[in-house]
Amino acid sequence: MHKTDPRPVHSYYEHSRNRKIGTPALEHDSTFEVVVVGGGLSGCSTALHLAEQGVKVAVLEARHFGWGASGRSGGQIINGFACGQDTLEKLLGLETARQLWDHSVKSVEYTRKLVDRHRIDCDLTMGYMHLAEKRRQVTELEETAADLADKYGYHRMALHGRSGLGTWLGSDLYAAGLSDSGSGHLHPLNYCLGIAAAAKKAGARLFQHSPVTAVESSGGRTTVTCNGVRIHCDTVVYGCNAYLDGLAKEISGTIMPVGTYIIATEPLTEEIALELIPSRAAMADLNFILDYYRLSADHRMLFGGRVSYSTFEPLRLTGSLNRRMLRVFPRLSGTKIEFSWGGYVAITRNRAPHVGRLQNGNWFVQGYSGHGMALAGYMGKIIARAVMGDTDEFDCFAGIPHKHFPGGRWLRMPGLVAAMGYYKLRDRF
């Protein structure tokens, strides 16, 4: 856990969580076939899929399940990757980029299947829209829709000009929008807790308040130290993401923790809520430092934005996000902000997810770069299959090349902070 992590989470999601996962802390030496480190979506999904195949698996979570990004995010389940398909084409070629795109589409469909199969009450709602304020962004939307249709065979998107946005969004700010019927949103914490509960039901052992302090591998066996006790296992899966904290030094330098933040209003009347977002879709603009927002099931406006590359929470955060929200929805002036929270996501240098296997035989998945809500649950299935010997899908992701951030753990932060000045300026034009 980062020593600079935000205060205890006072989020709308914690307020509206619909279950608790009653699990003990690890207190005794144990033996498992697989130990998963991290109780977010990646870890819980991996454990679920292994347990369903009869594997003896334990999940170790330093805080409580869903405490990190999996329980704090904007909740968007979306196709594609933060890096964009053009980056994947340059790194891997068009054919592999197509395979990865297909996996991203499947990840959303798989999220829906997991929700249905395990009867997870998480307010799953389909519909998503990318929004353009400027002419160059409208062109970007046009090119995106054409590329995905022509090169990737994806035909679930539709371009809407200013006059056609009214049925989707009650704001005059935008010049155009690109809707995606294949993406959507959900309550991230309730979804993550639902996956954790399903893993527990399938036979996985879940331990919270169990921070891992050391992992040592030798002779084909691994020893995990946690709470002063040891677990012996065949293999470890790291699903820590932004909270890896140097536990696996070979991959710590390929990710960077980035703070992202959300506010939630008091409940609105249904009439007002549906005037603001009549489609109930999730929304996000195309700015580098983007705004993203959606309605909750109880008609609150959940509005996210701002980022911090320094691991320090921005000053006057709630007021700043409120002003950004009023820029989109002036009608919400005077509306009470009841919740404000944040947390870290892990980004990679190229903004593509980082998946692989270490020299000691242990596995990892990290660096979703803000696009992990659907992909993390899907990757749990892929990692579980790989652990059991089927690496076809895993190899597709593991082939994405990654580089360490320059400057080491501390010196890389000033460079990223400085770079944000350029992108903030660019967003204005």
- SS3 state of residue 217: strand
Spatial distance between the Cα atoms of 72 and 188, rounded to a whole number of angstroms: 7
User: In the CATH hierarchy, which top-level class contains the domain 12-418?
Assistant: alpha beta
CA 321/CA 307 separation, integer angstroms: 11
* Domain coordinates in residue numbering, the chain: 12-418
| DSSP code of residue 243 | G
Task: Round to whole Å and give the CA distance between 214 and 422.
Answer: 40
Q: What is the 3-state secondary structure (H, E, C) of 25-62?
A: CCCCCEECCEEEECCCHHHHHHHHHHHHCCCCEEEECC
The alpha carbon of 220 is separated from its chain's Cα centroid by a whole number of angstroms, namely 32
Rounded Cα distance between 131 and 177, Å, is 4
Instruction: Return the closest-CA partner of residue 160 out of 144, 176, 138, 183.
Output: 176
User: Can you give the pLDDT at residue 243?
Assistant: 92
Kindly report whether the global pTM for this prediction surpasses the value 0.85: yes
- In order of 19, 130, 179, 215, 277, the CA distances from 167 in angstroms are 35, 15, 11, 53, 8
**Residue 104 vs residues 124, 218, 232, 419: alpha-carbon distances, Å:** 18, 36, 34, 29
Cα separation, 257 vs 131, whole angstroms: 26
Please give the pLDDT value at position 424.
Answer: 47
Q: Are 393 and 385 in contact (CB under 8 A)?
A: yes
Tokens 């109780």 correspond to 39
Helix (H, G, I), strand (E, B) or coil at 161: strand
Along the chain (429 residues), what's the average pLDDT of each consecutive run of 10 residues?
A: 52 96 90 98 98 98 95 96 97 98 98 98 98 96 97 97 96 98 98 98 97 92 95 97 91 94 97 98 93 98 88 82 97 97 94 96 96 97 98 98 81 50 46
Supply the pLDDT for residue 420.
46
- Give the pLDDT score at 8: 56
Alpha helices in 277-407 (DSSP H): 317-328, 375-387, 392-398
DSSP string, 343-381: EEEEE-TTSS-EEEE-TTS-EEEE--TT--TTHHHHHHH
- Give the sign of the dihedral formed by CA 423, CA 285, CA 346, CA 300: positive
Residue 49 CB burial class (10 angstroms; 0-12, 13-18, ≥19)? buried
The span from the CA of 146 to the CA of 294, in Å, is 26
User: Rg of the chain's alpha carbons, rounded to an integer?
Assistant: 21
